[in-house]
Amino acid sequence: MSYNLLKGKKGIIFGALDEKSIAWRTALRCHEEGAQLVLSNAPVALRMGEINNLAEAVKAPVIGADVTNMDDLKKLFEESMKHFGGPIDFVLHSIGMGLNVRKGKHYVEMDYEWNKKTLDISAMSLHRVLRTAWDMDALSEGASVVALTYIAAQRVFPDYNEMADAKALLESVTRSFGYHYGVRKKVRVNTVSQSPTRTTAGSGVKGFDGFINFAEKMSPLGNASADECADYCVTLFSDLTKMVTMQNLFHDGGYSTTGVTGAVIEQMEK
C-alpha cells in the first residue's frame, strides 16, 4: 500500500547488492511512495550486475562509488543533482564490511590494517558522504539521512567482532555531524538499529542462525524484516519526522529493552 509519503522527493540509496539487501527493499518502498532515486554501490558490487534489475524496477540510474573515495562521492553527488535537476532530499547509507570478520580473524587478534579499512568503509564513510554533500551544498533544507546500525554498538555480541566498534563510531558520527547539519540546514541524521536480517552482510556473522533465532525469541514482536525496515526508513525520509535527528532508533521488535521472554525461559528449561 502506498501513502505517497515521498511524492516529489529525490534520494540516493547506497548498498543494494541483491534482492535481500535492506537497501534493495528500501529502494522498492521509496519508489512505491513516489520518490525519484539514484542507486549507488561499490564498483566491485556493480560488476555482479544484479542491481540493474532493481534499477529497472525503480526507474533509477546506477552510479558507482566506493564510499572510501572522495572523488567517487563528489562525482556521485554531482551526477545525481544533474539527474534530479536540484538538491537531494534523502540518503540511505546501508553499507557495511568487516575485513577481519570476513577473513575469520578473532577480535583479540585483529589485523589493524584491515580494521582501519573496516572503520573507513562501515563508519567514517558516513562522514565522507555528509562532508561531500556539505561541501557541495547538495542536500535540501530539512533533508533526511539514515544509516543502518546494530545493537552491538551498545551491548556485547562476541562474534560481531570489530563491527561492534564500527557501529559505535557510525552512531557517534551520526550525532556529531547531525548537530552541524541541523544548525546549518535543518538536515536530520539518524541511525536505524535493525534486528538481525538474512542478507549477505548479516549472514557473514559467525553463528548467524543461532543469533537470529535467539533474537526472534527475545523480541516481543519477533525480529523485524528487511521490508519492515524499509517501511520505517520511508517514515524517516518523509516530512512526518522533521524534528527527529541525531538519534539511534531501535527497529527490533522490542529486543533492545527486553530482559527475558517467556519463550527464552521455556527454551532454557528444556
Ligand X SMILES: NC(=O)c1ccc[n+]([C@@H]2O[C@H](COP(=O)([O-])OP(=O)(O)OC[C@H]3O[C@@H](n4cnc5c(N)ncnc54)[C@H](O)[C@@H]3O)[C@@H](O)[C@H]2O)c1
Catalog residues that contact ligand X under the rule CB under 6 A: 15, 17, 21-23, 41-42, 45, 66-68, 94-97, 121, 148-150, 194, 196-197, 199-202
Residue 181: CB minimum distance to ligand X, A: 20
Residue 251: CB minimum distance to ligand X, A: 9
Looking at beta carbons only, is 191 or 238 nearer to ligand X? 191
Residue 179: CB minimum distance to ligand X, A: 22
Residue 198: CB minimum distance to ligand X, A: 7
Give 3-state DSSP helix, strand, coil % of the chain, rounded to 5. 50, 15, 35
CA pair distance 142, 165, nearest whole angstrom: 29
Neighbours of 179 (CB within 10 A): 13
Q: Smallest Cα–Cα separation from 86: which of 14, 22, 141, 152? A: 141
Q: Are 50 and 42 in contact (CB under 8 A)?
A: no
Residue 8: CB minimum distance to ligand X, A: 26
Looking at beta carbons only, is 60 or 201 nearer to ligand X? 201
CA pair distance 118, 60, nearest whole angstrom: 29
Residue 81: CB minimum distance to ligand X, A: 19
Looking at beta carbons only, is 138 or 140 nearer to ligand X? 138
Instruction: Report the residue closest to ligand X, judged by CB.
Output: 202
Q: What single letter denotes the amino acid at residue 12? A: I
Neighbours of 46 (CB within 10 A): 18
Looking at beta carbons only, is 29 or 140 nearer to ligand X? 29
Looking at beta carbons only, is 34 or 55 nearer to ligand X? 55
Looking at beta carbons only, is 17 or 187 nearer to ligand X? 17
Give phi and psi for 17, each to the nearest 5.
Answer: -95, -50
CA pair distance 203, 218, nearest whole angstrom: 19
